[in-house]
Structure 1
Amino acid sequence: MTIDKPLEEERARLRLSSRWLQGDGPSNPADELEAVCAWLREHGDTVTDLGVEPGLAPDIYGTGALVEDFEAELAALFGMPAARFMPSGCMAQPIALRIWSDRDRNPVTAFHPTSHLELHEEHGYRELHGLTAHLVGDPARPTTAADVEALLEPGGAAHETGIASLLIELPAREIGGQLPSWDDLAELSQLCRENGIKLHLDGARVWQAAPAYGRPLAEIAALFDSIYVSFYKDVGALPGAMLLGPRDFIDEAAVWQRRQGGTLYTAVANIVSARMRLGDCLARMPRLIGRAREVAALFSGHECIGVLPDPPHTSMFHLRLQGEVEDLLLARDHVARETGIWLFGKLKPVSEGVAGTELSMGAASLALGDEELAAAIDLLLAFRPSRPAQQPS
């Protein structure tokens, strides 16, 4: 495929100069590092045996007040006994499933067909930890207790082996941020406990789930045995994750983190970035869920645009646009030139003549008025790309 370099350069310029609908908009990577430096300087001096050192002492190999205080803060927020800061969810979640499998002496786990562990991690759970996974439930909707019962009953894929753990993602990104109903989630949790199955929460975006359910994070967490959360998704911090669960579970997870090279000499910037930004994320999330529903309604008012789910369950949703990918991208570029609004980023084919994208609301969406956004959508749909004249044969 030939790359149109002038077009790509123009798109980069439009992307960086426009007002975004999604996320928090473009930023300079230096901004976050400068904010981290300012936070460290603001939080006073640290007294050591060697005298007074400026700023807050960094964590060292996962220890020290900087990280331990944050771990305690998150454990309290979720009502869990303990927490451990880790570099990524790709490390944290397979570790959790490995521990539950080792304790049950059963290498079998289960999760949704669209789980990040299945689609985006090169099957690390299998290749690194020797686990086998059953994909449970309909790929287009959240997993239910009935799905797990079908897996375990006579004739089910896990009838003979059982499963040591079940991973549930709240909300489920690949299906537009869908959530199970609260009653369905509680029923699933009860089923797992009755069958000795450890229930793990993929909470990469769980910050959206609490206001969507109208329940505190600790009440959601009470349904699970272990939890992972991300700090760069929604929170907008530098990369980082937290694994939460019982104290002995977290102590064991720390050993696995060390074995996998995840105990860095220091993660000071990533920890501070998360500590700085988490409060603002929690405060604005209810408004972002409302904004997602407002924005989705502006799109779904057009017959040629679909929204999944409609209305959105959380602060994210998927769009389905009739048209070819490149034509729609050219229309997006046209909207950006004319209005200064960047409606979406990448598109991918979903079916013949239909393209899809994900929209996740952040601070940028709150700065766009409904009237100008509606006009931008109208302009997107009205655009017709010019075609070179065909030469006579």
Structure 2
Amino acid sequence: MIGRMTADEEAADAHEGAGERRARRLAAWNTARRRLGDASAEGTIAGRLARLAEEGAAVHDLSRSPDVYGDGIVADLEERTADLLGTEAAVFFPTGTMAQQVALRCWADRTGSPTVALHPLSHPERHERHALTQLTGLRPVHPTTEPRLPTAEEVWELPEPFGTLMLELPLRDAGFVLPTWDELVETVDAARQREAVVHFDGARLWECAPHFGRTLPEIAGLADSVYVSYYKSLGGLSGAALAGSSSLVEEARAWRHRYGGQVFQQWPAALSALVGLERELPRLPEYVDHAKVVADALRRGLEDAGVPWFRIHPEVPHTHQFQVWLPYGPEELTEAGVRQAEEDGTVLFRVWEASGPPGLAVTEVTVAAPGLLWSPEDVREALSAFLARLPGLPARG
């Protein structure tokens, strides 16, 4: 038919449209005056470089030579990370995906078991394109499918042997949820009784301390190995670390090289990580406390607006991040947020995704330094302006 696009043309057009939408969103978020938190990908290259140079000078001697294959500033970061977590050593990785694949592979070799017990909502199962099975040759089993961490009873009653128990703290896709400290200890003990080792996916471990009421070394000390991220919560450019015993770390270094992670220079990522550890890590308890204030204000505002169904999950956040669910499509919710940023200079919500039954969408809310300036009244005012940009509230049930 004349004038009809081919499949390749339609795909190219869709790709171009997606790029334009992303550029518009970033422009709106970058120029907004008020936001609850800063996204790590926002800003300009020039601005990010200037900020890194200014903040980096306060945490590292910038007259030193750049790193080469993991020495210098990268080695300094590894030592700092091990000290903070109370482990014998730590090794820097360019990505958390690589760090965890290496950790689980090392433990499979050491335990003689290729079976890893983990949650089906955990990062290796949801966001790594099945690298656990495709690259590492490991076999996952699930102690539970409930949207929470597995209990000690579920670990103990898993009907087949496993060599490693992996726990994601917090479990992001379930709503950044955590168990209680006693529950976590009992679950770890159950794995030990099953003669398994324990690995923590601690991409966001930094902000778990307030919920548990324990120090980072106490939390990390429960596990045989811990992975932490430098850009989640800390605002670094990229990078991660695997922490544990000196022997495990040395083995992980060898596998990092085999996996292609022996990068020539990584000083920008390492420097930004040191800045995050110095500036953001001490403030995370404030963010966690204020996330509870923001979540409560959103709940009260949605009730007052007459939204017939919504959910703040967890109702009292366990960390400085939580989910908001609303009965609208993700496109119209995302568009309402972009328009609010463009017209009011306020960012309350960012990208929404379809999840659960049809007609529902979910977004993640992160409360960081900018959000500390928001009072409950500010949150409810911004929420009212956001809802006013939707096509109309569904009728009350």
Q: TM-score, normalised by structure 2?
A: 0.86
Q: Would the aligned equivalents of 1:19 and 1:364 in 2 still touch at CA under 8 Å?
A: no
Task: Note the C-alpha offset of 1:338.
Answer: 4.7
CA distance in structure 1 between the partners assigned to 2:330 and 2:70 by the alignment: 45
Aligned-partner residue type, residue 383 of structure 2: I
- Match in the other structure for 1:96: 103
Q: CA separation in 1, counterparts of 2:193 and 2:247?
A: 22
Equivalent residues in 2 for 1:1-393 (5 A)?
A: 3=17, 11-24=25-38, 26-38=42-54, 55-64=63-72, 66-151=73-158, 156=159, 158=160, 162-301=161-300, 302-303=302-303, 304=307, 305-350=310-355, 351-385=357-391
| Corresponding position of 1:48 | none
Letter in 2 for 1:30: A
Structure 2 unaligned regions, length at least 5: 1-9, 393-397
1:381 shift after superposition: 2.4
> Shift of the alpha carbon at 1:295?
0.9
Shift of 1:139: 3.8
* Alpha-carbon offset, residue 63 of structure 1: 2.5
Query: 1: CA distance between counterparts of 2:90 and 2:114?
Result: 24
Question: In the aligned structure 1, how far is the partner of 2:19 from the partner of 2:67?
Answer: 44
Change in Cα spacing, 1:44 to 1:361, as seen in structure 2 (3 Å) is closer
SS, match of residue 349 in structure 2: coil
CA displacement at 1:22 relative to structure 2: 4.0
Q: Cα offset for 1:353?
A: 2.3
Shift of 1:266: 1.6
- Residue 395 of structure 2 is matched in structure 1 by none
Distance 1:5 1:78 in 2: 40
CA, structure 1 residues 299+189, in 2 after alignment: closer, same or farther (shift >3 Å)?
Answer: same
Q: Aligned equivalents of 1:195 and 1:88: distance in 2?
A: 30
Residue type of the alignment partner of 1:315:
H
Q: Give how far 1:325 is off.
A: 2.5
* Identity, % of aligned positions: 36
CA distance in 1, matches of 2:60, 2:163: 47
8 A Cα contact 1:108 1:165, kept in partner: yes
Off by >4 Å, runs of 4+ in structure 1: 1-12, 38-45
Give the CA deviation at 1:294.
0.8
CA distance in 2, matches of 1:223, 1:178: 18
> Which stretch of the first structure deviates more once superposed, 140-149 or 236-245?
140-149
Closer/same/farther in 2, CA of residues 39 and 292 from structure 1, 3 Å limit: closer
Q: Partners in 1 of 2:27 and 2:111 — Cα distance?
A: 54
Q: Give, in whole Å, the separation in 1 of the partners of 2:110 and 2:294.
A: 46
Cα contact 1:145–1:188 (8 A) shared by 2? yes
Cα distance, 1:134–1:41 mapped onto 2, change above 3 Å: same
**2:7 counterpart residue number:** none
Shift of 1:8: 6.9
How far off is 1:306 after superposition? 1.1
What secondary structure sits across from 1:114 in the alignment? coil
CA contact (8 A) 2:59 2:274 kept: no
165 and 20 in structure 1: CA distance in 2 versus 1, 3 angstrom threshold: farther
Cα pair distance change 1:263/1:371, threshold 3 Å: same
CA–CA distance in 2 between the matches of 1:353 and 1:368?
A: 30
Rounded to whole Å, the distance in 2 between the matches of 1:4 and 1:75 is: 41
Determine the C-alpha separation between the residues in 1 that align with 2:226 and 2:257. 19
Q: Is the 8 A contact 1:113 1:139 kept in 2?
A: no
Indicate if the aligned counterparts of 1:23 and 1:365 stay in contact, CA closer than 8 A: yes
Would the aligned equivalents of 2:59 and 2:275 in 1 still touch at CA under 8 Å? no
Q: Offset at 1:27?
A: 2.2
In structure 1, C-alpha distance between the alignment counterparts of 2:173 and 2:85, rounded to whole Å = 25
Q: C-alpha displacement at 1:31, in angstroms?
A: 3.0
Matching residue of 1:51 = none
Q: 2:59, 2:278 within 8 Å by CA — same for their partners in 1? A: no
1:71 counterpart SS class: helix
Counterpart residue identity of residue 94, structure 1: Q
Letter in 2 for 1:17: T
Counterparts of 2:59 and 2:184, CA distance in 1: 41
Q: TM-score, normalised to structure 1's length?
A: 0.87
Distance 1:261 1:12, change over 3 A: closer
SS at match of 1:227: strand
Is the contact made by 1:43 and 1:55 (CA closer than 8 Å) also made in structure 2? no
Equivalent-residue separation in structure 1 for 2:19 and 2:271 (angstroms): 39
Once residues 281 and 59 of structure 2 are traced to their aligned partners in structure 1, the CA distance between those partners, rounded to angstroms, is 22
Give the Cα–Cα distance (whole angstroms) in 1 for the partners of residues 115 and 139 of structure 2.
Answer: 5
- Given that 1:228 and 1:243 are in contact with CA atoms closer than 8 Å, whether structure 2 keeps it comes out as yes
Tell me which amino acid in the other structure corresponds to 1:15: W
Q: Secondary structure at the match of 1:228?
A: strand
Aligned CA distance change for structure 1 residues 240 and 140 (closer, same or farther; 3 Å): same
